[in-house]
Structure 1
Amino acid sequence: MFSHVMIGTNDLEKSRLFYDAVLAVTGAKPGVVDRHRVFWRANGGTFSVSQPIDGQPATCSNGTTIGFNLASPEQVDQFHATAIAHGAVPVEDPPGWRGGPAGLYLCYFRDPDGHKICGLHRPPKA
């Protein structure tokens, strides 16, 4: 459904370093800088951070979550641990299963700009 997700940042280099580390867990190569933006591509999707074109400070929206599909619970744990090691703030419950045995394995954190990010593993249907 989506071609890409772009979020704002007030520190492009700090965001580039953060997401280079975190998105490497998903198989993404280091981000490509294009003027005031950085792009990462992996698994058919594009994620980007950008300094706002209008010159105003970047802000994050309340109630917004950006989720990344991950291959296993172990990859979710690695995604979360890497984010925390690079300055993210954990939010909600620790990484784990939600919704019972047929549920989802999730983690949540806020990136250095305050955006809420989710790592999600959905087990295959039996």
Structure 2
Amino acid sequence: MFTHVMVGSKDPERSRSFYDKVLGALGIGPSQSPPGAGRHFYGDMTKGGAFGVGTPAEGEQQHANGGTIGFIAPSSQHVDAFHQAGLDNGGSCEGKPGKREGAPGSPYGAYLRDPDGNKICAFAPPGR
């Protein structure tokens, strides 16, 4: 459905370091960066979607009010590693790892804010 999702960063290299570790904990990455572009991408938009972070083309960074970007985790252990990697690399907790009883199937997930304040999460399918 999507080619990519992009979030802004005031410091793309700090973001690359953060996301290389956080998404690396989910088996994604490392980033692929066009030389000098100030943007870093994870995944392959030609094969079903990519996530990008970089300097906003419009200049001033803004956050999506109520926006969250969710990543698939292979297991609850990967969710735990994602969350810990985020905390260890400049992110902040927006929801500790655990079952989400209000979500369909009660999946296991965790929420973070990246160093620029963008909200992300990782969820493992129920039973994993």
Give the TM bin, normalised by the shorter chain.
0.7 to 0.9
Give distance in 2, aligned partners of 1:44 and 1:72. Answer: 21
Tell me if 1:7 matches 2:23: no
SS in 2 for 1:82: helix
Q: Percent identity?
A: 42
* RMSD after superposition: 2.0
Following TM superposition, by how much is the alpha carbon of 1:104 offset from its aligned partner in structure 2, in angstroms?
Answer: 1.0
Match of residue 106, structure 1, among 77, 87, 109: 109
- How many residue pairs align between the two structures? 122
Q: Which residue of 2 aligns with 1:31?
A: 31
Q: Which stretches of structure 1, 4 residues or longer, exceed 6 Å deviation after superposition?
A: none
SS at match of 1:109: strand
Q: State the AA in 2 paired with 1:21.
A: K
Q: Is 2:72 aligned against 1:69? A: yes
Task: Output one character per residue of 1:65-124: Cα deviation in whole Å (capped at 9) or x when no partner.
Answer: 0000111111101110011100110013x2100117x41111001000101111111226
Shift of the alpha carbon at 1:44? Answer: 4.3
d(CA) in 1 for partners of 2:64 and 2:5? 14
Q: State TM-score, norm by structure 2.
A: 0.86
Q: Which digits, 9 at most, give the CA deviation of each residue in 1:35-55, with x for residues without a partner? A: 12111116843110121113x
Q: Equivalent of 2:125, from 115, 122, 126?
A: 122
1:46 aligns with 2:46: no
Residue 28 of structure 1 deviates from its aligned partner by 2.1
Structure 1: tracts of 5 or more residues without a match: none
Normalising by the residue count of structure 1, what TM-score does the alignment of the two structures yield?
Answer: 0.87
SS in 2 for 1:90: strand
Hey, what's the Cα distance between the residues in 2 that align with 1:87 and 1:6?
19
**Cα distance, 1:27 vs structure 2:** 1.7
1:96 match: 98
